[in-house]
Structure 1
Amino acid sequence: MGDLTFEDVTVRYGSRRRGVTAVDRVRLTVPAGAVVGLVGESGSGKSTLARAAVGLTPVTGGRILLGGRPLPRPGRAGPRPLQMVFQDPYSSLDPRMTVGESIAEAVARDVARGATARRAEVTRLLELVGLADERAERYPAELSGGQRQRVALARALAGRPEVIIADEITSALDVSIQGTVLNLVRDLRRRMRLSMLFISHNLAVVRYVSDIVAVMYLGRIVEYGPVDQVLGDPRHPYTRELLAAAPDLRAVGSDLAHVGSDVGDGTPTGSAIAVGADRVRIALADVEPADPHHPPSGCRFHPRCPIGPMVHPDREICRLTEPDPEPHQHRAACHFAATVETAPVTPARRSR
């Protein structure tokens, strides 16, 4: 098992004149045995990066390495070291195949040869995700959304991958079912030392399951580091904006904690939401998000940034030069990351 590394990965759709660069020179590492949460608003490039990792979208530039070696080409015979779990489990499962048939189809030949061995492996995988063996004879339409997502996880695990790519796997589920699936992810990670790139727009979910957080904006990674540091002491203004707009992470974390297994250290502390929400909301109130077809020069966040040239005209460097993340464990792609204020402000709360 090795690290999954994205080296200056670029993904572009369309022509040079009318196309869009969905992922732009992304550098990201998923350490072996760790869960990296990838967050960002819709259209930031999260799902495109995931699809590129598993070979569903061609890479325009850069490399994706696993353990220092390039990934096998799409379509090549043999097991894939990366497997993906999609947002909608119903669309990712063949409705004409039973659950057992779908999982058995993904079981590698060197793992189980013969019908009896494959059946035993299917039973083992179903038990691993908390489903009874009798579910193997059911069709996807006969299962609930949470059960279908468990089947999708079992199918991904059937190939014995080194890394799981989970793309918004709880966003289509009810809150109570979300907690069950997230607890399953945490349990599988502990038992199997899974490496996972966990994509979500929900900061509370990411905080609950991840060791490391990467924040994506307009195709670039703008902040990366241990989850407690990034969400407890955000250094990039965009991360602060996301936290300011999020529900109370303590309340959501408490909801998740009461579903299934014990949370342990998964509930965020008060410092995890200490961000300058009022200043961000004022600065960004009348600013439209940038057009991904024509991203701004320099720092892509500068037209919306509350500590950039909109507020401080002397910070022209933000308009002209794209920042590189400083070489630290917790790094942010911001020219003035070291000057970001951390005045505590209450985040947006959920309606009751």
Structure 2
Amino acid sequence: MSELVFDGVSVRYGARRHALTAVDGAHLTVPSGQVMGLVGESGSGKSTLARAAVGLAPLATGRILLGGTDIRQLRGRRRPLQMVFQDPYSSLDPRMSVGDCVAEALPRERGRGGTVRRAEIAHLLEQVNLDPGRASMLPGQLSGGQRQRVALARALAGRPQAVIADEITSALDVSVQGAVLNLVRDVQRQMKLTMLFISHNLAVVRYVSDHIAVMYLGRIVEAGPTEEVLADPRHPYTRDLLAAVPSRIPAPAGGADGDAFAAIEPADPHHPPPGCHYHPRCPAGPQAHSGRDVCRTTDPSDDAAARPHRAACHFAATADLAPPKRLRTEGAQ
């Protein structure tokens, strides 16, 4: 059992007037052996949530559980939760060989000599479709896609139960993104890993994920099975994300008002609006519909579990939202 649970997680930086709540009471469950895609615009708190899971960002409130155990109780032991970072050019030590980078994450066990460790390194490199002969090379001698494969091999070397992949294709050439995505999907299925896959690209998330969660200004605003959420999103922000995806399909008639609301600048994360954080930009909120002042005063996250897709929207069950745009995924394949 390697279910990854974020239970009311908050991450704050600074104090008093300069305080910033990067993650605000996030509740999210990544089912055991499955992939949860996490999407949202820049600054929504996706990477901060990931960094909190591996101990690189301090928890202000809440807890993170892996297999029912608080990750803070795992310090000093083998880390069953590993992370692959966004930038393959800075995540590897340029002075260490590829083999040393991978070996650094291998558990130290008695009776395992250098021959055994070299064989295990070779196996890990083969597992990520990289020639074991490159083990003696430095990261600077590899391409971006090859470095990201080394980073994935290093994460697998820790024998994790769960892996967090943070925008792992965004720094790569388009020509190699598909190959890396196919590799990640194949490795995850073969090893039955629990995975949190973070991306701003909805097509990529749809390609690799069993479930999807949407984040806005530090809060999880919608979550559910990928196909269900993308076919019938119940939060206006999810619909706006879908509407922003380039498509050859014409936008539905009457979508101009929604576009106008989406064009409004996001709120200052240092001073988020009360109630629903999205209400100043929401085409289904009080700016567009009279009588919906509840959006300004009450946080819809409090009873999200009772709504479709756990949507943090007071009007998630209503049908007065424009139909979502179809999402093409050919580019991810």
For Structure 1 versus Structure 2, the TM-score category normalised by the shorter chain is over 0.9
Residue 237 (structure 2) pairs with residue 281 (structure 1): no
Match of residue 9 from structure 1: 9
Give the TM-score normalised by the residue count of structure 1. 0.87
Aligned CA distance change for structure 1 residues 197 and 275 (closer, same or farther; 3 Å): farther
What amino acid sits opposite 1:139 in the alignment? L
Task: Map 1:94-243 to 2 at 5 A.
Answer: 94-110=93-109, 113-243=112-242
* 8 Å CA contact retained: 2:308, 2:316: no
Q: CA deviation at 1:302?
A: 0.4
1:307 and 2:284 aligned: yes
Instruction: Report if the CA contact (8 A) 2:236-2:321 is conserved.
Output: no
SS of the equivalent of 2:26 reads strand
- How far, CA to CA, are the matches of 1:279 and 1:97 in structure 2? 54
Is residue 14 of structure 2 the alignment partner of residue 35 of structure 1? no
Q: Work out the CA distance in 2 between the residues paired with 1:128 and 1:190.
A: 13
Match of 2:331 in 1: none
> Is residue 294 of structure 2 the alignment partner of residue 295 of structure 1?
no
Q: Aligned-pair distance for 1:67? A: 1.4
For residues 218 and 111 of structure 1, do their structure 2 counterparts lie closer, same or farther at Cα, with a shift above 3 Å needed?
farther
Residue pairs, 1:45-60, within 5 angstroms: 45-60=45-60
- Corresponding letter in the other structure for 2:314: H
Q: Which runs of 5+ in 1 are unaligned?
A: 252-269
Judge conservation of contact 2:232–2:324 (CA < 8 Å) in 1.
Answer: no
Asked whether the 8 Å contact 1:233–1:342 carries over to 2, the reply is no
How far did 1:326 drift?
3.2
CA distance in 1, matches of 2:41, 2:110: 40
| 3-state SS in 1 of match to 2:313 | coil
- How far apart, CA to CA, are the structure 2 residues paired with 1:326 and 1:200? 24
Matched, 1:22 2:22: yes
CA distance in 2: counterparts of 1:28 and 1:314, whole angstroms:
31
Deviations 1:51-103 (A, max 9, x none): 000001110111111111111457x3221011110011121111111100110
1:179/1:277 Cα in 2 relative to 1: closer, same or farther (>3 Å)? farther
In structure 1, distance between residues paired with 2:95 and 2:280: 50
Q: What SS does structure 1 have at the residue aligned with 2:304?
A: coil
Among the aligned pairs, what percent are the same residue? 66
Distance in 1, matches of 2:193 and 2:327, equals 33
Counterpart residue number, 2:312: 333
Letter in 2 for 1:280: G
Q: Is the 8 A contact 1:46 1:216 kept in 2?
A: yes
Match of 1:267 in 2: none
Inter-CA distance 112–184: structure 2 relative to 1 (3 Å threshold): farther
Q: Deviations over 1:248-276 (max 9, x none)?
A: 3xx9xxxxxxxxxxxxxxxxxx9xx9898
Q: CA RMSD in A?
A: 2.2
Structure 2: give runs of 5+ residues left out of the alignment: 329-333
5 Å matches for 1:51-90? 51-73=51-73, 76-90=75-89
Paired letter, 1:78: R
Q: Which amino acid aligns with 1:128?
A: Q
Tell me, in whole angstroms, the C-alpha distance in 2 between the residues paired with 1:275 and 1:47: 36
Q: Which amino acid aligns with 1:335?
A: H
Q: 1:210 to 1:278 in 2, by over 3 A?
A: farther
Per-residue deviation at 1:4?
0.6
Moved over 3 A (4+): 273-279, 326-329, 340-349
Contact 2:2 2:194 in 1 (8 A): no
1:56 aligned counterpart, secondary structure: coil
Q: Provide the TM-score with structure 2 as the length reference.
A: 0.92
In structure 2, relative to structure 1, the CA distance for the partners of 1:156 and 1:319 (3 Å cut) is same
Q: Output the amino acid matched with 1:94.
A: D
Deviation at 1:288, TM superposition (A): 1.7
Q: Secondary structure at the match of 1:27?
A: strand
Q: Which amino acid aligns with 2:285?
A: G
Deviations 1:14-58 (A, max 9, x none): 013211000000000011101000000000000000000000111
* 1:44 is aligned to 2:44: yes
CA change 1:104–1:329 in 2 (3 A) is farther
How far residue 343 of structure 1 moved from its aligned partner, in angstroms, is 4.3
Q: In structure 2, do the counterparts of structure 1 residues 101 and 345 end up closer, same or farther at CA, with 3 Å as the change threshold?
A: closer
Give the C-alpha shift of residue 186 in structure 1.
0.9
The aligned counterpart of 1:264 is none
How many pairs are equivalent? 325
Please list the CA deviations of residues 184-216 of structure 1 after superposition, one character each: whole Å capped at 9, or x if unmatched: 011011111111000000001100000000000
